């Protein structure tokens, strides 16, 4: 993406859950025993008691299990389209403390080819989604639209054109199958020009990410590596897709697994 976020929703949800939980505890152990039998609690207290279990459930679900995200840009075309709503596995890269983002229990690490959601290293209030192409210790070279990993070129095969509608204006991209051994996937090439070559070595505790729309993605080629602490989770399914040009859901994409 990026997904424009103007406040930390995780922190707000955590604070609201703690606040309603505190009020619920006070009602249970302090206020209720002091009230006359049959007396009703104040409206604010009753509301907090009612909302606390709901907020706690939502907090646990989106913090440790799964969280939905929306795709607002075309940086991951053709894999993810504008209007896709995806689900992200929050425990794929370890259980993390809500809001603080510190790892509580390491359960796994990104694999090459994963589509990962992470907090943008230069502005943690924004969530980005890209494909992991470089693991710690890898030497990467991107030259003439081809990715080289540890000295070996990742094979590509042209599989036809791909037309993108930009608000009534169409643009034709070249669609290629990039045969990444761990996870083959499609990429888009938008310009025949070779562009600038880039060679880097991925440091320990960091990852190199790229968008599948290779000529239309703001990624590690420009702003650097993604540290492990910034990882949010692994995208695994499109649960909803809205086609903005048609003004209706794209039924064919709903329920699709993300390669």
Residues annotated as catalytic are 75, 130
Separation CA 129–CA 232 (nearest Å): 10
Q: How many CA atoms does the CB half-sphere of 137 hold within 13 Å?
A: 1
**205: alpha, beta or left? (left if phi > 0; alpha if psi -120 to 50):** left
Q: Supply the angle between the helices 9-26 and 43-64 in degrees, to the nearest 10.
A: 140
Residues 6 or more apart whose Cβ sits within 8 Å of residue 239: 68, 85, 86, 87, 254, 255
Separation CA 175–CA 160 (nearest Å): 5
Separation CA 81–CA 89 (nearest Å): 19
Residues 6 or more apart whose Cβ sits within 8 Å of residue 173: 77, 161, 162, 163, 164, 188, 189, 190, 213
In the structure encoding, which two tokens stand for residue 52, read together? 């606390």
């Amino acid at each position: 993406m990026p997904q424009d976020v103007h406040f930390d929703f995780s922190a707000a949800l955590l604070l609201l859950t703690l606040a309603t939980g505190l009020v619920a505890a006070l009602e249970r152990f302090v206020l209720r025993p002091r009230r006359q039998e049959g007396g009703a609690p104040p409206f604010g207290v009753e509301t907090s008691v009612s909302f606390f279990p709901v907020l706690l459930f939502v907090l646990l679900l989106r913090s440790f299990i799964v969280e939905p995200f929306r795709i607002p840009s075309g940086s991951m075309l053709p894999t993810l389209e504008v209007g896709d709503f995806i689900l992200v596995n929050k425990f794929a890269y370890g259980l993390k403390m809500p809001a603080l983002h510190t790892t509580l229990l390491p359960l796994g690490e990104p694999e090459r080819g994963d589509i990962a959601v992470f907090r943008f290293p230069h502005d943690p209030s924004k969530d980005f989604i890209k494909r992991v192409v470089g693991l710690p210790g890898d030497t990467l070279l991107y030259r003439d639209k081809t990715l080289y990993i540890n000295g070996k070129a990742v094979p590509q095969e042209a599989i036809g054109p791909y037309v993108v509608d930009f608000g009534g204006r169409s643009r034709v991209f070249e669609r290629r199958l990039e045969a990444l051994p761990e996870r083959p996937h499609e990429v888009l090439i938008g310009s025949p020009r070779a562009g600038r070559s880039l060679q880097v070595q991925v440091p320990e505790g960091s990852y190199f990410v790229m968008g599948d729309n290779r000529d239309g993605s703001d990624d590690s080629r420009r702003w650097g590596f993604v540290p492990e602490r910034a990882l949010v989770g692994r995208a695994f399914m499109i649960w909803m897709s809205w086609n903005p040009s048609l003004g209706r859901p794209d039924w064919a994409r709903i329920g699709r697994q993300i390669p």
